[in-house]
Structure 1
Amino acid sequence: MSKPFAFLSIDAASRRVSLDARDPAFYRDPNPVYAALHAHCPTFYWEEQKQWYFTGYDQVNALLRDRRFGRQILHVASREELGMAAPMPHLEHFDAAEAWSLLELEPPEHTRLRTLVNRAFVSRQIDRLRPEITELANGLIDRFEKDGKVELLAALADIVPVTMIARMIGIPDAMGPQLLKWSHAYVRMYMFGRTEADEYAADRAAAEFADYVRTVIAERRAEPRDDLLTHMIHTEHKGQLLTDDELISTTIVLLNAGHEATVHQIGNAVRVILDSGLPPQPMFADEKATERTVEECLRICAPVHIFQRYALEDVEVEGIPFRRGDKVALILAAANLDPRKFDDPLAFRPDRDEGANLSFGAGIHFCIGAPLARLELNIVLPLLFQRLPGLRLAQTPVVKDVYHFHGLERLDLEW
């Protein structure tokens, strides 16, 4: 039994791991733990979570694409067959909002919904937003540049992603703060160690969020505009229009996924760059250098660490038998640190060029907003370091108490 950290024990022979995800020494910096797992037990049964986890790059990449696994299970088996508990009444609104979520569906429904929204998120469409993102980011920096200090998350990181995804969908900028509140409450449902209070708060947020989206749908039906919501309302797929429930779920997931991870990643990336002690100028010397720096930040400090899949049939992986309905978990952030894929994986190397990271997933559920997130990061990070020379940490940032969404509580900077 190996015990490289006080909160971690690894039994490589049985592939059993005990790990306290609530220990600050873990969630503040999971990378050394991921390195220990790669060294001793890259595929393991996590005792506290009662589930199998995969960390190897090749395994995670393959399982994300493996059609024997999926994000939903009730399209192939009933709750009774699987021994699943009934839905919880106090999550009625949350479950309704999730019912048609792109993140949770499998084909053919996933294909139909994704086809309708995909056109807005392809790289050539997203690249048209470059001037608008640049103007927004510069305007925000203008507000605090002369102060010599800033809390970056509230002053910029929270604002750019939510504003841009809301504008694309057709929701006014003024709704940004409310969207953030709903989103923060909503995503706590996906955190380890969520409480009953979290569940009630998420259900309230889902109810309010859905009601608001319903009013905007009615407005767009009466008065169409050149925005994504109007496009979703009026575009047919094989003779079918989206229902209101499908429109609400899709809009909520796009708003949540379209900014939550990017907010975290702006903070994560700035911190990693400053912590490295490396001069930022070469990292942003040109477009290619900037792209590599952004990808290295995504690799070494991914904002979302885990995605789960259901076995859609009885299947064996690495000698482990899974029954239909069993859940497996894929640690994307650990796959990004696999020493068989990346040389010296815990080192931040902004010029690294060793292949794609898995921070946006892979397969049919590859993050639809990846081109938008990448563009925002490729614009915002160089601007910050160019406009604020001498940028440095004013104090050690505090990591949020939520594994497996990795982000900062606040990021105090000075220059």
Structure 2
Amino acid sequence: MGHLHHWQDYKMVAAFSHPAVHTLLRDRRFGREIPPEMARESPAHLAPFLQVEAHSLLDAEPPRHTRLRRLVLRAFTSREIKALAPGLETLCHELIDAFPKDAPFDLLTTYCTQVPVIAICRLLGVPTEMAPQLLDWSHKMVAMYQASKTVETEHAAARASQEFIDFLTTYVDERRKTPGEDLITRLIQAEEDGESLSTDELIGTCILLLNAGHEATVHSLGNGVKTMLQQGWDKSWLAPDGIDGLVEEILRYDPPLHMFTRYAYEEIELFGHTFQRGDEVALLLAAANRDPEVLEDPERFDPTRPAKVNTSFGAGLHFCVGAPLARMEMQIALPILFERCPDLKLAAAPEYNNTYHFHGLTRLMVQV
């Protein structure tokens, strides 16, 4: 496998190998913010969507990124994440109690989507009955990152962004007046050297946590269950000493996000290619996860392999803030599902969604 190849459709260089992806994720001469001289006038109809993007941790670089991330991590601690665990266990059991017993059903809508979106609602302190509405906004917004987007996609994303902003603005105002035991309250209270998050940054952060936090975990759970059912799963994978390995291998083998792009900030020569300032490079996370140069038998699903190659959460400054939450959700939801439904089987061939860069199923028809 070569390190870099030119991708004709995207008109940019793409990194395929593990060394190239690993290096480019960490090299500070590349970043997510577009160089200012390249920024083009944006269409007016996209204003609400771009307002959210402008205050997103995902698209910021230091020093803005450093400040934002520090404030977010101050509110989004491992203690807060662990506190969600008992509630998630109960939720998993309740969802399984409601499974149809004698007919095929879609595990994506009944289980894989419910666990992450309700987890995020509970974390943010948003009423769980808002979950379907949040999902609808989120789907319309993340469609903007897909290769197949159209003008309709843009208008839908802008409308969803505006509605989401309006909802959260009201919600943040309420929380300023009456603090709660939730992430929005902690984000309001988080301060670093007297600096706190602006309302726009708060809203951008909440939207990012919801969009990134459920979209990817839904796919990780769905892809994981599909793979386990197709491969014939082993009870030992779900034991307390095996579950970490299972989750890492699911994320390596069939990651929810296949590509992440960055801009070069200066002239750089890497892996035999000279990047000019402003050049975009595509990092192919899924390809790096299956690099035969660094992994033995990469096409084989093996939850007992040592987890040394996994770029699914990115790396470097932009390593996924939600990784501990995503891992915990999978570590809880998978064992409960297979313990409660030991005879779970596929009722139809799984269908992958024809979108890119996300990689997930449209339906996962199963039978208990």
TM-score bucket (shorter structure): over 0.9
Matched, 1:296 2:257: no
In the TM superposition, residue 322 of structure 1 has moved relative to its aligned partner by: 1.3
In the TM superposition, residue 86 of structure 1 has moved relative to its aligned partner by: 1.3
SS of equivalent to 1:329: strand
Aligned residue in 2 for 1:396: 349
**C-alpha distance in 2, partners of 1:120/1:265?**
25
Aligned residue in 1 for 2:98: 143
Matched, 1:60 2:14: no
Matched, 1:332 2:293: no
Aligned residue in 2 for 1:195: 150
User: How far does the alpha carbon of each residue in 1:260-313 deviate from its partner, in whole angstroms, 9 at most, with x for none?
Assistant: 10011111000011111x3331221x2221111111111010000001001111
Aligned residue in 1 for 2:235: 281
| Equivalent residue pairs, number | 368
The answer to whether the 8 A contact 2:75-2:187 is kept is no
The answer to whether the 8 A contact 2:3-2:19 is kept is no
**C-alpha distance in 2, partners of 1:394/1:316?**
51
**C-alpha distance in 2, partners of 1:263/1:117?**
23
Closer, same or farther: CA 121–341 of 1 in aligned 2, 3 Å? farther
SS of equivalent to 2:195: coil
The answer to whether the 8 A contact 1:121-1:371 is kept is no
In the TM superposition, residue 354 of structure 1 has moved relative to its aligned partner by: 4.5
Closer, same or farther: CA 262–319 of 1 in aligned 2, 3 Å? same
1:355 pairs, out of 303, 308, 312, with: 308
Matched, 1:130 2:91: no
In the TM superposition, residue 166 of structure 1 has moved relative to its aligned partner by: 1.5
1:367 pairs, out of 298, 312, 320, with: 320
SS of equivalent to 2:57: coil
Gaps of 5+ in 1: 1-37
Aligned residue in 1 for 2:362: 409
Closer, same or farther: CA 124–225 of 1 in aligned 2, 3 Å? closer
1:341 pairs, out of 282, 294, 302, with: 294
Aligned residue in 2 for 1:224: 179
The answer to whether the 8 A contact 2:71-2:197 is kept is no
2:168 pairs, out of 207, 210, 213, with: 213
Alignment of 1:6-405 (within 5 A): 38=1, 41-74=2-35, 77-78=36-37, 82=38, 84-144=39-99, 146-147=101-102, 149-276=104-231, 278-284=232-238, 286-405=239-358
Quick one: which amino acid aligns to residue 51 of structure 1?
M
Aligned residue in 2 for 1:32: none
**C-alpha distance in 1, partners of 2:125/2:262?**
32
**C-alpha distance in 2, partners of 1:369/1:230?**
18
Percent identity over the alignment?
A: 48
Closer, same or farther: CA 125–248 of 1 in aligned 2, 3 Å? closer
User: How far does the alpha carbon of each residue in 1:137-196 deviate from its partner, in whole angstroms, 9 at most, with x for none?
Assistant: 111001116345431111111111011112111111011000100010000111112111
Closer, same or farther: CA 120–222 of 1 in aligned 2, 3 Å? closer
**C-alpha distance in 1, partners of 2:265/2:312?**
24
The answer to whether the 8 A contact 1:122-1:371 is kept is no
Aligned residue in 2 for 1:15: none
User: How far does the alpha carbon of each residue in 1:92-111 deviate from its partner, in whole angstroms, 9 at most, with x for none?
Assistant: 11001111101000111111
User: How far does the alpha carbon of each residue in 1:52-92 deviate from its partner, in whole angstroms, 9 at most, with x for none?
Assistant: 00011111111111100001034xx33xxx3x431111111
TM-score under structure 1 length normalisation? 0.86
**C-alpha distance in 1, partners of 2:307/2:189?**
43
User: How far does the alpha carbon of each residue in 1:234-266 deviate from its partner, in whole angstroms, 9 at most, with x for none?
Assistant: 222221222111111111111111111001111
**C-alpha distance in 1, partners of 2:354/2:197?**
38
**C-alpha distance in 1, partners of 2:295/2:76?**
29
